[in-house]
Structure 1
Amino acid sequence: MSRSLLLVLSLACMLACKRAPSDHGHEHGAGRGHEHGAASTSEPERPDESVTVYQEGLELFMEYPAFVVGQPSPLVAHFTDARDSNGFHVVTKGRVTATLRYADGTEERFVAEKLLRDGIFKPEVRPTKAGEGTLTLRLEGEQVSGTVDVGKVVVYPTAAAAVAAAPPEEGGEATVGFLKEQQWKTQYATAPAEPRVLQGGVRANGELKPVAGQSAELSAPVAGRLSVGDKVVHLGQRVRKGEVLVRLLPTSSASGTDLASVEMEAARARAELGLAEREVKRAEEMFAGKAIPEKQLDAARVAHEVAAARVVATERQLALYRSTQSGSAVGPGGAAFELRSPVDGVVSFADVIPGAVVEAGRLLVSVVNPERLWLEARVFEADAPKVERSSGASFSVAGFEHEFSVDEKTGRRVAVGSVVDRATRTVPIIFELPNPDGVLKPGMFAKVTLYTGQTVRGVAIPESALVDDNGKPTVYVMEGGESFFKRAVRVGVRSGGYVQVLEGVKEGERVVSRGAYEIKLSTATGAIPEHGHQH
């Protein structure tokens, strides 16, 4: 074979290979590395267009090559169900209709009957005439339906015209990538920065406690044996006031010495009751003369009630001792002490083994009424004057996504401490709140914001959008559907799950309200691809 013939064959092969279409399909950046069939190889590559729109409970993130007459433009449309602010969801069912409406009123429609894969539809637009128009995408499906207005678009007569009209690339704020496939696998959501009226507040640590008088601990009054055959009380059991929880059969150690001690306690209780009655009478007279505050009168009355209850308890205990000494029975099992629940509530502790011998003073059962709780916040002394007249508070508890609140409509302020704790330099402030479903438990710790009564209007974002970056509050602001700006922010008032942003975020910008830590971790580990992903 001659050298000239070999040269001709080599040139033909090179031309054929050059014209062969790409075998890796359409890349995520719609114009990167794609061939469009009808496009001439002499025409320049069309620039990419990208749009992110929130409408009708949907988030649309879409990439596509610029529209050119007669050339196909695949719309890589990522649809996300954005109705749940606690976490967006990938769309897994439906069909999409893209409508291109020209300035003269004519329309062209392009349909994707099914998903390319979860969350992604790919209708192919092939415009027939140049000019300005509008583009809308209609999603119809069982999961969610809605229409997203993409806005104004331009159909160019040639790819060269599209390239010429493309804005120059400008250097600016660095972005962080987080792909839709990653977002859909995590608890992810965004929220706009928007004006809000926030309650001024003071931050404090707090604890949920039983309401005073709505919890009790029942201990063995004497050494004895727990009754056998009775129903055994257990943790979580709901009990009524006066219900017998434990029967204790005294052992021989319940001697006369024990009886003398109980008689002395009964006498002391009666004496204290008499003193409490006189204190109440004196406090009422002084309050009538405006010599003391009402809080001091209330304290005297509470002391009187406690003393009266103690008298009742000691007299009952004395009667039981005497019946034990005489051998008379107080129950079906013979002479026994009956420990009854003093409140309606739930058993929070139980150490009752039938037949077991217990010593005097051993804790057997605890009962708490969880229908109402106290929230005790510990405020640092410098902030104490700001919350002296606080009318309410909001608080968060580990394990719950939403905040709880207490105010004059849902509860009440019980007391504000008048003494600073020497060890913690804090002042307690107590609120009472309802707990009808019992989801809050006594003993839980809480992060509390106490309202100061002042209101502030400003741009605010969900508090869940804040992440700690080396001690600085930081947020991720959406630049596009899969790209974000990492911004340090200066925050102000926090109230009701929102935080005022003084610097770093502008009104109208969207921040990642759920999943910000996942973005931070993925950037730290280098898990985000640099070149995007293919479709």
Structure 2
Amino acid sequence: MTLGALAVALALAAGYFAGTRQTGHPAASPAADASPATAGTGTGGKKILYYRNPMGLPDTSPVPKKDSMGMDYIPVYEGEDAGPDDTGAVTVSPARLQTLGVRTALAEPRTLDEPVRAVGRVAINERRVVDVAPRFEGWIERLHVNASGDPVRRGQALFSVYSPELVSAGSELQIAERLQRDASSDPAAAASAQRLAEATRARVSNWQMKLPEGTKAGSGRLTFTSPANGIVMEKKAVEGMRFMPGDALFRIADLSTVWVLADVYERDLARVKPGQHATVTLDAFPGRSFDAAVAYLYPTLDAATRTTPIRLELANPDGLLRPGLFAHAEVDTGKATPVLTVPASALIDSGERQVVLVAQDEGRFLPKAVKVGRRGSDHIEILDGIAAGERVVVSANFLIDAESNLRTALASFTAGKDDAAATAKAYAAEGTLDAIDLSTNSASITHGEIPALKWPPMTMDFNLASPDVVKGVAPGSAIRFEFEERAPGEFAITRITPSTAAGHKGH
């Protein structure tokens, strides 16, 4: 593990331990556990073995103390001192579990929903839009529907028109019918009159106007009606205006069903297919959802956004879904086969590793590396690393993982120190104990020459292997001391005894 990773782990653990002390819970307050009256027993009756450095440094104390930053040392209770190991296992007391709010859940098989999320907008169902466009020239004499947005029913009057072409067609039809009656004794004339009448009726039919048998030309006036139920989306008709053949005077849309046009990223296109169920939510109606179905995937892709639009169809019986509303869509693309999953909150993903914390007996938590598969809305598929039925931590897992990383780091760090200690060289010298600083666990000593280290006589500070080393020795005393090099440039005194020898001769 690199020094950078160790530093991050130490910082995380420091925040974790500091946070637990601030909760006010007795189990999380080292100062309370370590009161002078109960220095050897915790509030739960457990024996306190020692106190450890709150920053995770390899420094312990048999009595309560503070580090150089003023932080209380953490009590270690009997049964909790498993020591750091390379598995990163963490043991948390029941009181601290309650304080942290640790919750667990089972890793179990389930059908994983794997939605594709997209955003879009509500649009008119283009298959239910009709235009009212006369096929002849005329003038609008009267409007029966006067505004856009008005609801209309099939057969409801929209506007009345006057057209000279209608007058002409009516006159021709009247003439043809009269000739047909007058030429009843002349078969040839009667046939000609019949052909004229049929031609007139065909012309009127091409205008999509119906003139029943025996209709009279009248004044050439006609009322247009709505061809469908719906809403008037556009109205260009104005009383008195002249219109030409093909002018769309009204546009009517049936909004009983609408579309949602959503943009799907190209990486998700392979998972989306027509017929899949989808759920649509809208900002306009928080807390409500609408069922839809994938109707079509458009064949083009937007090169700028790398998305392809898809069309969702959904019912709109209450008329709540207005064209233009912003919509969120989730397309269900999950498989029906159950797979092993854990809650999404159980996964700790650093980008380089994926870990879950497995709860074991007696408050012990073991981090396990896992291989993840598909990700659903609330659960994640686990391909390898844990088995069904194991219980994983789903809350406060980042705090436990921080201490686990620290334990692992200390295990490798301490292992290196233990190996070095096995081959560490011991030295002895004589001198004068100038001062003792138990807050930093150090002592200042003026010593004589130490040939083994090629040290001249001088005054220097040494670390103390334990505060017990200086018990019974007062500053200013002549001493003989033994020390060892535990790391390059780091010397710790392991023993001090009073000396009656005159002078400070090194050995």
TM over 0.5: same fold? no
TM-score (norm 1): 0.35
TM-score (norm 2): 0.36
Structure possessing the higher radius of gyration over alpha carbons: 2
